[in-house]
Amino acid sequence: MKKPVFRGASVAIVTPFKDGRINYDVLKKEIEFQIENSTDSITICGTTGEASVMTDAEHRECIAFAVKQVAGRVPVVAGTGSNDTAYALDLSLFAQEAGADGLLLVTPYYNKTTQRGLVKHFTYIADRVDTPMILYNVPSRTGMSFTCDTYFELSKHPNINGVKEAGGDFSLILNTMARCGDELNIWSGNDDQIVPLLALGAKGIISVASNIIPKQIHEICRLFFEGNVAESAAIQKKYAELIRCLFIEVNPIPVKTAMRLIGFDVGNLRMPLFDMAPANLEILKASLRDVGLIG
């Protein structure tokens, strides 16, 4: 049995920018807001954090800053994945040295690989780091997915702790859980599927919505784990429309916009991401009003 890196809700935290640089004053406020509102973990430099448009120096500095600011109060998961195995290892070793509690590694994108290649890629890294690894399956962005057989092979490695599943394939998740058992922890990567995946045995969520409703996403998990499934599901349903609106344009465009609307000066998105279309902005504002986050 592998102890999960965290249990509950980990925020895939937004990276604030100002004048072309990371705004660490605002990132500090974000982290403190998350911890004050019971988030169970911080995931830094993920998709929502716009890691793909950070320089290597920014990526490393951001991970180190988050670890130092959190100061052991909750686990920190560092995004260190790449489509270049050697670079993914190098970044993972840096995050390990910086003190990250977990490493989040996406499947290789663009060049992709075969299923055998996935086993080789992740095993190569897992053999060379000591920090628990969380695989990241997001085929809508990478153009490839794990199979159940591949998950099973990777689950045998003692340092591969689990997977963030953002593919939405319930059959794959069910069959993987049935086959791998407690040797591969699974977290939802989709905010609209938290309760359904918890019902299958997931350990929680790596969440976009937690940027703006951290307490509520934490409560969905806490209540479910305590056996209050109906209350957990009620929160999931209450915020269903807001969660839908956080994905009406490419993530993290809507959530970063929402952060600004609720009072966090997170700055602009880095191109090629851009401001929301006016019509979609009004839809997002309406969903924030409906749950009382803005006036």
Annotated active-site positions, please? Answer: 136, 164
Report the b/e string of 205-234 with b at 16+ CB within 10 A: bbbbbbbbbbebbbbbbbbbeeeeeeebbe
Contacts of 216 (CB under 8 A, 6+ apart): 209, 235, 238, 239
Distances in Å between the alpha carbon of 287 and those of 36, 64, 152, 214, 243?
24, 35, 40, 16, 9
Q: How many residues are recorded in the chain?
A: 295
Pairing of strands 21-22, 204-207: unpaired
